[in-house]
């Protein structure tokens, strides 16, 4: 009961009564004051107790935390997995998962007979693996089909056939940054086919004007996922809108045929696409306008082939091969750095080898910190290059043949090198980037290893 109610009851009770006198009145007033004081003291005490409890509970958890059970330790993320695709001819293809933390391989995953062709046919000369950005699915080109593999279970899904012709093999595959669509090129039919990763259903093939190039990885997607670029042997690059799957106007970048475009790569900021041609130039393309810039001449005996960018996007590294089938010991492969800000090439860096990069030698991979570039050489070595000085380090010898592909783990500690088999050894070589020392070769499933990819 509050003070107002007490006053009202007293007033009602004393209405019409004679005055109670000064003594009684003073006593009543004093009683009401004491009541209010006690109420304030109780409220302050309750607040103080609550504050003490709030402070004491966290501090006392160490004393009786065992009653609540041990704290759950924060789980470390699983180490990335390296997937290696091998073609076993009539025995079918396999994918070998490798634990990058231990360097041990898991059970090979069979992905079909003779490349999963519906009516027979032959396995392609190249294998391709593309992994979705969330790391959940690996897509492999297996003969005339594309086979999805669950990275969680290692189970292959139903092969996706691009068309019914067993001799129309997909060549290259790229996945949009949102992971919703995979685009697959087919040189034989001159098409690019979008595949829904949610349903595994191929869409309507996109016909490209000009014969598609099959020399190297010639399909790329901008970081915003809005445009696909593909090179053709007609000396052009064709942009395709991913919103409409409609090809745009071809962009002319130089010579045609064998001297035409080889590889295309996009800067990390997505603003520029660079196209290498065996005619001796690298052509930048503004992705906002699709207008080509002035070709950049690159010194090299056989013309620029592979291109890659430092993680910060400030420098493009371009490998140039020596003349094909050349016997000249003076014809050496080189790597040329190009400033993306000015388009000016720097001093070529020799990386050894006296042949060409037809089998994939010359591919470039950067450590995530951008301090070192690793380049495969036809001399059977991997060359580390300091990006700060442009100086090549001591060649790293690898067994099993010529370096074909280089993949570096997200933490930058290990570079994996896939070699073109020359003596029956089907291996992948791990290299410690801290010491540039090759480790024990990782044996993969029988057959020739063709491609590899690592989960994010």
Q: Is the pLDDT of residue 358 over 50?
A: no
- pLDDT digits over 220-229, tens only? 999 999 999 9
pLDDT value at residue 128: 83
Average the pLDDT over each of 91-95, 153-157, 259-263, 419-423 and give the range with the smallest value: 419-423
Contacts with 437 (C-beta within 8 Å, 6 or more apart), sequence order = 396, 431
Distance of CA 155 to the CA centre of its chain: 21
Average the pLDDT over each of 125-134, 353-362, 399-408 and give the range with the smallest value: 353-362
Determine how β-strand 391-392 pairs with β-strand 381-386: antiparallel
Q: Which CATH class, in words, describes the domain spanning 82-454?
A: mainly beta
- Please tell me the distance from the alpha carbon of residue 79 to that of residue 268, in angstroms, as a whole number: 24
Burial of 18: CB neighbours in 10 Å, binned 0-12, 13-18, 19+: exposed
Structure tokens at 186: 């087919």
Burial 239-252 (b: 16+ CB within 10 A, else e): bbebeebebeebbe
- pLDDT digits over 16-64, tens only? 444 455 444 554 454 545 455 555 545 444 444 444 444 444 444 444 4
- Please tell me the distance from the alpha carbon of residue 384 to that of residue 400, in angstroms, as a whole number: 19
According to DSSP, the residues that pair with 212 across neighbouring strands are: 232
What mean pLDDT is predicted for residues 210-217? 55
Contacts with 276 (C-beta within 8 Å, 6 or more apart), sequence order = 261, 262, 263, 264, 282, 298, 303, 304, 305, 306, 307, 318
Three-class secondary structure of residue 408 per DSSP: strand
End-to-end Cα distance, the chain: 68
Average the pLDDT over each of 210-224, 305-319, 405-419 and give the range with the smallest value: 210-224
According to DSSP, the residues that pair with 26 across neighbouring strands are: none
Asked if 146 contacts 140 with a C-beta cutoff of 8 angstroms, the reply is yes
pLDDT value at residue 314: 97
Q: Is the pLDDT of residue 332 over 70?
A: no
Q: Is the pLDDT of residue 255 over 60?
A: yes
What mean pLDDT is predicted for residues 134-150? 91
Query: Vertex 270, ends 147 and 261: CA angle to 5°?
Result: 70
- Domain ranges, ordered by start, for the chain: 3-68, 82-454
- pLDDT digits over 285-319, tens only? 999 999 999 999 987 656 788 899 999 999 999 98
Determine how β-strand 251-252 pairs with β-strand 401-408: unpaired
pLDDT value at residue 295: 94
Instruction: Output the CA–CA distances (angstroms, integers) from residue 319 to 80, 336, 420, in the order listed.
Output: 28, 6, 19
Q: Is the pLDDT of residue 66 over 60?
A: no
Of 3-7, 29-33, 108-112, highest mean pLDDT = 108-112
Contacts with 26 (C-beta within 8 Å, 6 or more apart), sequence order = none
pLDDT band at 90 (very low <50, low <70, confident <90, very high): low
- Please tell me the distance from the alpha carbon of residue 176 to that of residue 182, in angstroms, as a whole number: 6
Select from 81, 160, 89 the least CA-distant residue to 450: 89
**Where do the DSSP E strands lie in 242-303?**
251-252, 261-266, 272-277, 281-286, 291-292, 296-297
SS3 letters across 5-53: HHHHHHHHHHCCCCCCCHHHHHHHHHHHHHHHHHHHHHHHHHHHHHHHH
> Which residue carries 């899904």 as its tokens?
157
Average the pLDDT over each of 28-32, 119-123, 179-183, 426-430 and give the range with the smallest value: 119-123
Question: What's the maximum distance between 2 C-alpha atoms anywhere in the chain?
Answer: 133
Average the pLDDT over each of 88-92, 121-125, 186-190 and give the range with the smallest value: 121-125
What mean pLDDT is predicted for residues 324-349? 77
Determine how β-strand 381-386 pairs with β-strand 296-297: unpaired
pLDDT value at residue 373: 97
| Predicted TM-score of the model (pTM) | 0.79
């Amino acid at each position: 009961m509050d003070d107002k109610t007490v006053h009202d009851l007293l007033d009602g009770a004393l209405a019409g009564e004679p005055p109670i006198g000064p003594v009684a009145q003073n006593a009543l007033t004093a009683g009401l004051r004491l009541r209010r004081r006690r109420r304030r003291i109780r409220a302050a005490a309750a607040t103080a107790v609550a504050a003490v409890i709030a402070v004491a509970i966290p501090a006392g958890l160490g004393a009786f935390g065992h009653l609540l059970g041990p704290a759950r330790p924060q789980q470390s993320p699983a180490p990335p997995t390296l997937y290696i695709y091998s073609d076993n001819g009539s025995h079918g293809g396999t994918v070998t998962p490798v634990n990058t933390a231990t360097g041990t391989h898991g059970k090979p995953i069979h992905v079909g007979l003779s490349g999963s062709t519906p009516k027979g046919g032959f396995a392609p000369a190249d294998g391709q693996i593309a992994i979705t950005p969330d790391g959940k699915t690996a897509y492999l080109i297996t003969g005339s089909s594309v086979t999805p593999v669950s990275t969680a279970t290692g189970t292959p899904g139903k092969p996706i056939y691009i068309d019914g012709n067993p001799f129309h093999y997909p060549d290259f595959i790229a996945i949009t940054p949102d992971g919703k669509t995979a685009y697959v090129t087919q040189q034989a039919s001159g098409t690019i086919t979008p595949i829904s990763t949610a349903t595994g259903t191929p869409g309507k093939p996109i016909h490209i004007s000009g014969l598609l190039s099959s020399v190297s990885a010639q399909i790329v997607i901008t970081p915003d996922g809005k445009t696909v670029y593909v090179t053709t042997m007609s000396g052009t690059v064709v942009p395709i809108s991913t919103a409409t799957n409609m090809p745009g106007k071809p962009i002319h970048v130089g010579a045609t045929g064998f001297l035409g475009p080889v590889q295309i790569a996009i800067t990390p900021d997505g603003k520029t696409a660079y196209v290498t041609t065996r005619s001796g130039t690298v052509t930048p393309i503004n992705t906002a306008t699709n207008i080509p810039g002035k070709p950049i001449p690159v010194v090299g005996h056989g013309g620029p082939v592979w291109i890659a960018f430092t993680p910060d996007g400030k420098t493009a590294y371009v490998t140039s091969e020596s003349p094909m089938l050349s016997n000249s010991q003076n014809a050496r492969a080189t790597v040329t750095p190009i400033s993306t800000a000015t388009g000016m090439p720097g001093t070529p860096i020799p990386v050894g080898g006296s042949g060409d990069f037809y089998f994939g030698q010359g591919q470039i991979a950067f450590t995530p910190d951008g301090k070192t570039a690793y380049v495969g050489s036809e001399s059977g070595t991997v060359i580390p290059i300091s990006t700060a000085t442009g100086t090549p380090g001591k060649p790293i010898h690898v067994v099993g043949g010529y370096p074909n592909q280089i993949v570096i783990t997200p933490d930058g500690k290990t570079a994996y090198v896939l070699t073109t088999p020359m003596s029956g050894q089907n291996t992948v070589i791990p290299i410690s980037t801290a010491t540039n020392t090759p480790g024990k070769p990782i044996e993969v499933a029988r057959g020739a290893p063709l491609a590899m990819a690592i989960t994010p």
